[in-house]
C-alpha cells in the first residue's frame, strides 16, 4: 500500500468512477473517529469535550459554532464538497440526522474517542465500538428510507473515512501512568492496531468496500504536547513524533495485510503526518505572514519576542 496525501482518496474515487451528470461521485459518505472529523456529536453528550461555543465556528456558515473543533470547515467537509455533495453528512446524534438527510451518509465521530475504547470512556464520549453500533442502527433506518436494494447499493458504493488515534496517545497514554508505566509506545500501538483491525473487519462485514484511513499527525507538534512535555521549549517534542511515525508504519503494514485478506476491499492510507509537519516546521515554504505595526516600541517588542 502506498502512502498518499490526505486527499488522495479523491484521486482513487475520481479515476474509478468519473463524473456522472454533476451528481455526487459516490452515493454517500460515512465518517468515524475523533475531534478531527466530529461535526457535533459531542454536543449531545454529557462531556466536557465540546466545541459548541465561540470562537469555534467563527469562520463557518453564519459564523456560529456547530460542534466542530475548528474555526471553519473540517477536512471532512472539504472531502464531502470534492465528492460532489452540497452539504456534509449530519452528526448522527443531531436532530438533522433523520429522513432523507441520511441518504448522503452520516458522521459518527466523537472528539476524545480513539481506537482504544477506554480513551473515550475517560471523557464520556463515543468509543469506536459504539460508533459501529450506531452505524448498524443507521443501516436499519436506511432500509426504511430507501428500500433494501437501494440501501445495499448505497452501503457498498460509498466512501468511509476514518480519523482516529491521536486522543489515544495525547489524552490517555502520555498522561496515564496505568498505561505508560505498563506498556511501551510500541506495545500500546499494537493494542490500538488490534482494535483498528477489528474495526475494519466489522465495517467490511457490514458492506464497506472503499475506506480511507488517516495516519497520526505529528503528535509532538500539538500545542498541548509542547506545553506539557516541551520542557520550556517551543519546539516539537520529537519523542512523540517518533511514536507517531512508528505507529503510522505499523498502520500501513496492518492495512496492507487487511487488503490482501479481504476480497474487494479498497483500503487507502491517507498521510497527514508529513504535510502537517512541513507546515509547522517550514512555515515560510507555505506562505508568509505580513504584519504592519506602526508603534516603534511595539515593533521592537514583537521582533524580540518572535526572534525576527
Question: What pLDDT, on the 0 to 100 scale, is given for residue 21?
Answer: 53
Q: Is the pLDDT at 110 greater than 70, yes or no?
A: yes
pTM of the entire structure? 0.87
Task: Please write the tens of the pLDDT for every residue from 127-146.
Answer: 999 999 999 999 999 999 99
Q: Which three cell numbers stand for residue 297?
A: 516600541
Q: Which three cell numbers stand for residue 43?
A: 454536543
Q: Report the Cα 181 to chain-centroid distance in Å.
A: 28
Question: What pLDDT, on the 0 to 100 scale, is given for residue 233?
Answer: 84
Q: Please, what is the average pLDDT of the chain? A: 89
Contact 282, 225 (CB under 8 A): no
pLDDT tier, 234 (very low <50, low <70, confident <90, very high otherwise): confident
b (16+ CB within 10 A) / e for 224-246: ebbeebbeeeeebbeebbebbbe
Question: What pLDDT, on the 0 to 100 scale, is given for residue 308?
Answer: 35
CB count within 10 Å of CB 265 equals 18
Orientation of helix 185-205 relative to helix 238-261, angle to 10°: 30
Listed in sequence order, the DSSP H helices in 181-268 are 185-205, 223-229, 238-261
DSSP 8-state class, residue 266: E
Closest CA to 2 of 269, 275, 212: 269
Q: Which three cell numbers stand for residue 87?
A: 452539504
Question: What pLDDT, on the 0 to 100 scale, is given for residue 301?
Answer: 44
Rounded Cα gap, residues 101 and 139, in angstroms: 13
Task: Please write the tens of the pLDDT for every residue from 163-214.
Answer: 999 999 999 999 999 999 999 999 999 999 999 999 999 999 999 999 999 9
**Apex 39 CA angle, 215 and 176, nearest 5:** 55
Question: What pLDDT, on the 0 to 100 scale, is given for residue 288?
Answer: 56
292 against 88, higher pLDDT: 88
Domains belonging to the chain, first-starting first, are 4-306 (3.40.50)
Contact 87, 96 (CB under 8 A): no
Task: Please write the tens of the pLDDT for every residue from 40-50.
Answer: 999 999 999 99
Task: Please write the tens of the pLDDT for every residue from 161-174.
Answer: 999 999 999 999 99
Q: Is the pLDDT at 3 greater than 70, yes or no?
A: no
Q: Across residues 45-59, what is the average pLDDT?
A: 96
Q: Is the dihedral of CA 54, 57, 59, 61 positive or negative?
A: negative
Closest CA to 108 of 92, 128, 120: 92
**Cα dihedral angle (59, 60, 66, 69), rounded to 10 degrees?**
-60
**Apex 261 CA angle, 251 and 268, nearest 5:** 45
Q: Which three cell numbers stand for residue 303?
A: 521582533
Rounded Cα gap, residues 150 and 308, in angstroms: 60
Which secondary structure element, helix H or strand E, spans residue 304, and what is its range? helix 296-306
Amino acid at each position: 500500500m502506498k502512502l498518499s496525501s490526505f486527499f488522495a482518496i479523491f484521486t482513487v474515487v475520481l479515476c474509478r468512477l468519473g463524473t456522472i451528470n454533476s451528481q455526487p461521485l459516490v452515493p454517500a459518505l460515512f465518517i468515524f473517529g475523533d475531534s478531527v472529523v466530529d461535526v457535533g456529536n459531542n454536543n449531545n453528550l454529557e462531556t466536557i469535550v465540546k466545541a459548541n461555543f465561540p470562537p469555534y465556528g467563527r469562520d463557518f456558515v453564519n459564523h456560529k459554532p456547530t460542534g466542530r473543533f475548528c474555526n471553519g470547515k473540517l477536512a471532512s467537509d472539504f472531502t464531502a464538497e470534492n465528492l460532489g455533495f452540497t452539504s456534509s453528512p449530519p452528526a448522527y446524534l443531531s436532530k438533522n440526522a433523520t429522513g432523507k438527510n441520511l441518504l448522503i451518509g452520516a458522521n459518527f465521530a466523537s472528539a476524545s474517542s480513539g481506537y482504544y475504547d477506554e480513551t473515550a470512556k475517560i471523557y464520556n464520549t463515543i468509543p469506536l465500538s459504539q460508533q459501529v453500533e450506531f452505524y448498524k442502527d443507521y443501516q436499519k433506518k436506511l432500509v426504511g428510507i430507501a428500500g433494501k436494494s437501494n440501501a445495499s447499493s448505497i452501503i457498498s458504493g460509498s466512501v468511509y473515512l476514518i480519523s482516529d488515534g491521536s486522543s489515544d496517545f495525547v489524552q490517555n497514554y502520555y498522561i496515564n501512568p496505568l498505561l505508560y508505566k505498563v506498556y511501551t509506545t510500541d506495545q500500546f500501538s499494537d493494542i490500538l492496531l488490534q482494535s483498528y483491525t477489528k474495526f475494519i473487519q466489522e465495517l467490511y462485514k457490514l458492506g464497506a468496500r472503499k475506506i480511507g484511513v488517516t495516519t497520526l499527525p505529528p503528535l509532538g507538534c500539538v500545542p498541548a504536547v509542547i506545553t506539557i512535555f516541551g520542557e520550556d521549549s517551543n519546539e516539537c517534542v520529537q519523542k512523540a513524533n517518533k511514536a507517531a511515525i512508528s505507529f503510522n508504519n505499523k498502520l500501513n503494514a496492518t492495512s496492507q495485510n487487511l487488503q490482501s485478506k479481504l476480497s474487494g476491499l479498497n483500503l487507502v492510507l491517507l498521510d497527514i503526518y508529513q504535510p502537517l509537519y512541513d507546515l509547522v516546521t517550514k512555515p515560510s515554504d507555505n506562505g508568509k505572514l505580513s504584519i504592519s505595526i506602526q508603534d516603534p516600541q511595539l515593533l521592537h517588542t514583537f521582533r524580540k519576542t518572535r526572534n525576527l
